[in-house]
A = this chain, B = another copy of it.
Amino acid sequence: MTQYFDALDTRPPGERERDLFRRLPAVVAAAMRSETYAERFGAIDPSAIATRDALSTLPVLRKSDLPDLQRKRPPFGGLSSQHPGRFARLFTSPGPIYEAQGLSADVWGVARPMHAMGFRAGEIMLNTFSYHLVPAGFIMDAGARELGCAVIPAGPGNTQQQLDLIAAFRPTIYCGTPDFLKIILDAPTSGRDVSSIERALVSGAAFPKNLQDDIARRGIEAFQAYATADIGIIAYETPARDGMIVNENIIVEIVRPGTGDPVAEGEVGEIVVTTLDETYPLIRFALGDLTAAIPGISACGRTNMRIKGWMGRADQTTKVKGMFVRPEQIDSIGKRHPELLKLRLVVTRSHDADAMTLACEADRPEEDLAPRIAETLQMVTKLRGAVEIVPPGSLPNDGKVIADERTLT
C-alpha cells in the first residue's frame, strides 16, 4: 500500500508555496476576463499577484453575496466567462447558488483525500450523498472513480434498499454524512450483513465525539472532510488525526471576519479559499466558516498547511436596538485607531434593552483613548456603547468580532 497519493503530498512547504503562487497570476488574468472580477479588481496587474501578500490586497468574494450576484448576472454572477453548456454538469445549492462542474476528471480534488484515508483501487464505495440537483454526490463519485473504486450511487434515503446493495456487493467504504452512517448501522438488517464497511469519509454535518466513538467501536475508521459545493474538498483528516490537511491546488487564507486581512498564525478567523481553476476561478472566496491554522507539520508526513475543523459560522452581523451591526464596521473602528490590537463588540441585554460594550486590546493606552473610541463607535454604528480597554492577549481566540451574549427567552 503506497502511503502517499503522489510526491505533492510530501514536498517541502516552500516549494508548494512557490508552485501555487507561480500559477496564480494566470488564474487572476483569467478571472479578469469575466465581468464581475474585472469590475472588482479594477486596474491591477495580474502578473503582480504572485505572492501571499499581493493576494491579500484583492477584495474577498463572500459566498453570501453569490445569490445576489447570480440574480444580477445569471447564471454565474459574472464570475465565469464560459457558456454554461460547456461545463460537464450544472447544479444548485441552497441560496440558491448555481454551481458548475468543470471538464477535468475529479475537478474537485477528492482522490487525494480519499487516498489519504486508505481508499484503494478495486474497492467498492457506498456513496450516500445526493446526486440530484446538488453536486455532493458527484464530488465524491468523481474522487472514487479517479482512484479506481467502483461506486454504488445510493443517495440518501431508501435504507432498506441500501442494505440489500451492501449485502450483495459488500462495499468496504462508506461516504456520506456521519448521521446517515449511524442510521445504516442501526437499521434492522433482517439477516443482511453490513459488516463489510471498514472505512468512511464523512462530511456535510457535525461529527460529535460521542458519535465518533460509537462508529469507532463498530470497527469503522471514519475520517472527516471539510468540503463545499463550490470548491470540493478543502481539507481532510488523515490517520495521524492531528488536524485537517489542506488539499493541493488551492490557496487557503484565514482572515479576520468581515475583512480580508489575514490573522496571525493560530488565531481563529474566517477561511478564504482561492482556486487555481481558470474556467471558473474563485479568488479569495470567503466561505463564512471559522477555523484556525495549526502550526507545524502533520505526523502523517503530509507537508501542507493544517487547519482545525469547522469552528462556527463567521457571519456575525447582528441587530442591536433594531439596527444591523456588521463585523466590517468593528474592523473600520480598529483601522481608525491604529493603537488598538484586537476588538470585540459584546452585545448584552440590560434593563430590557439592548446594550453593547466594545472591548479593545491596547498596549499602554493614552487616557482619552476610550472616549475617543466611543465617539467613533457611535459615528460608525449610529448606536451608543461602552468602551473597555483591556491588556493585549486578553480577548478570547474564538474568531468573534461581535459576540452576541443576549439570552433569547
Contacts and interface: CB of A to CB of B under 8 A. Distances in A.
A155 to B, nearest CB: 3
A266 interface: no
Contact of A124 (B90, B150, B168, B169): B90
A75 B155 CA distance: 20
Given A92-B161, A164-B96, A133 B154 contact: yes
Contacts of A88: 145, 150-151
Copies in the complex: 2
Interface stretch (A14-22, A25-33, A79-87): A79-87
Main secondary structure of the interface of A (DSSP, over half): mixed
A12 interface: no
Contacts of A137: 131
Given A90-B165, A145-B88, A169-B75, A83 B155 contact: no
Interface residues of A, number: 42
B150 A84 contact: yes
A161 B100 CA distance: 16
A132 interface: yes
B155 A133 contact: yes
A47 B169 CA distance: 33
Interface string A106-133: 0000000000000000111000001111
A149 interface: yes
Contacts of A123: 85
Contacts of A141: 89
B122 A86 contact: yes
A166 to B, nearest CB: 11
B155 A132 contact: yes
For the complex of A and B, the 8 pairs showing the least CB-CB separation, nearest first, are: A132-B155, A131-B131, A85-B122, A75-B168, A90-B152, A85-B150, A87-B150, A89-B151
Given A85-B124, A92-B168, A96-B168, 12 more contacts: A84-B150, A88-B150, A89-B150, A92-B161, A92-B164, A130-B132, A131-B137, A132-B132, A133-B154, A133-B155, A133-B161, A138-B153
